[in-house]
Amino acid sequence: MLAAARRAQRRAHAPYSGFRVGCAIEAADGEVFTGCNVENASYGLTICAERAAACAAVVAGQRQFRRVVVVTSATTPTPPCGACRQFLAEFGTRVRVESVSAGGRRAWSLARLLPYGFGREHL
């Protein structure tokens, strides 16, 4: 998964921030999907690597994820942004999230990263 996330990171489109992110998501059946961040001059339209990978999984018919691996060049492990946490929570909060950076590796459960997420029970 780490190698897949790094390959995706190399393909990131980050001309504004220079912050290239790659992500690999493992579905419940073990299939792996990747994504990278795609920045836009209209910053709000930027797509994060985690959401790109999750969308690729959904297109393939996957709806349950086991693990998310995020790769950056930051000096400390970088968890997914709030929008990505909420997006991933749509598919369950028992997901293990791992971040690998130039400064090390860290892991969390998605439930820990988003303790009070908004879900269908709130509708």
* Nearest one of 118, 81, 80 to 98, comparing CA atoms: 80
Predicted pLDDT of residue 116: 93
Domain parsing of the chain, residue ranges: 2-122
How confident is the model at residue 107, as a pLDDT? 98
For the chain of 123 residues, list the mean pLDDT of each consecutive stretch of 10.
Answer: 98 98 98 98 96 98 97 96 97 95 95 94 91
Q: Which residue has the tokens 């690998």?
A: 100
- What is the pLDDT, as a whole number, of residue 37? 98
**Considering 26, 31, 39, 50, which one is annotated as catalytic?**
50
CB 87 within 8 Å of CB 54: yes
Topology (CATH) of 2-122: Cytidine Deaminase; domain 2 (3.40.140)
The Cα–Cα gap between 63 and 20 comes to 26
Contacts of 105 (CB under 8 A, 6+ apart): 77, 98, 99
Strand partners, 3: none
- How far is the C-alpha of 30 from the C-alpha of 16, rounded, in Å? 34
pTM of this prediction? Answer: 0.95
Active site residue 50: yes
**What was the pLDDT predicted at 87?**
97
